[in-house]
Structure 1
């Protein structure tokens, strides 16, 4: 199963439409995970044209998105438990630490989060932390990015896809 992973699209403030390179990169996804800061449900509509979309709200999202998606969730694909959280809530720690702490009482194989716009792929204990970065607002990063997770029979591989966009 191919899982597309995005976060921090900030569509209405940074871009008006999702980049074609992102849409092409997610074309073969079986499902797409969005880790918050959609800013508009137009992102959901665009991504849903490619595959089913699951996600959570972020600190920049309004009540419509918070009510639709919630702030945290767990999904399971191909026997892989995936926790999804934006990563902005919690104690004064780094974004990866807040994401991990959000699931401290509910072990996950993979935790997908966003908020920092900094791509990360790190294994801590039995859990992999994965931040796809941002496909539209790279901030201080060299390139825009999103993620692809390939899951099969209880195992998975996660990778970043980087690109330039103007």
Structure 2
């Protein structure tokens, strides 16, 4: 299973930009996971129409989006239990909030966003991933996303960066 992982797209009006990015970077994936902060519900519809899609809402997503998707999700793919949460909240770091959200769920992988900073790190045997942002890099040099290919007993992880 090949998964495209994105977050923090912050699409307000021009949803055609998201569609173009999907067509450019995600043709080979089986599933897209979005870790929140869409802003426009149209972005969710574009993702659903493009590929299989799982997503959670983020701190800037309004009530319309919150009626379409959950605040966090746990999915199982090819034997990997994956927790997805945007990472918003107070206290501690975004990384720790994401980890703490699934601490009792015995997940293998946690996917979060919020910081717009790409990251791959482990904590207590859990792989924790932040894809950065596909469309809003903030202070980062490049836009970024992750391609995660799951196999039984192993996986391949690639960060992809572009300007």
Match for residue 52 of structure 1? 52
Match for residue 26 of structure 1? 26
Instruction: Report 1:58-73 matches (<5 A).
Output: 58-73=58-73
Structure 2: distance between partners of 1:141 and 1:22? 21
Whether the 8 Å contact between 1:36 and 1:86 is mirrored in structure 2 is yes
Deviation at 1:18, TM superposition (A): 1.4
Assess, with a 3 A threshold, how the Cα gap between structure 1 residues 19 and 46 changes in structure 2: closer, same or farther.
closer
Q: Where do 4+ consecutive residues of structure 1 move more than 4 Å? A: 13-16
Number of residue pairs matched by the alignment: 163
Whether the 8 Å contact between 1:14 and 1:137 is mirrored in structure 2 is no
Match for residue 17 of structure 2? 17
Deviation at 1:28, TM superposition (A): 1.3
Deviation at 1:96, TM superposition (A): 0.6
Structure 2: distance between partners of 1:70 and 1:123? 25
Q: TM-score, normalised by structure 2?
A: 0.92
Deviation at 1:124, TM superposition (A): 1.4
Matched residue SS, 1:133 = coil
Structure 2: distance between partners of 1:137 and 1:6? 11
Whether the 8 Å contact between 2:58 and 2:88 is mirrored in structure 1 is yes
Assess, with a 3 A threshold, how the Cα gap between structure 1 residues 25 and 95 changes in structure 2: closer, same or farther.
same
Deviation at 1:16, TM superposition (A): 6.0
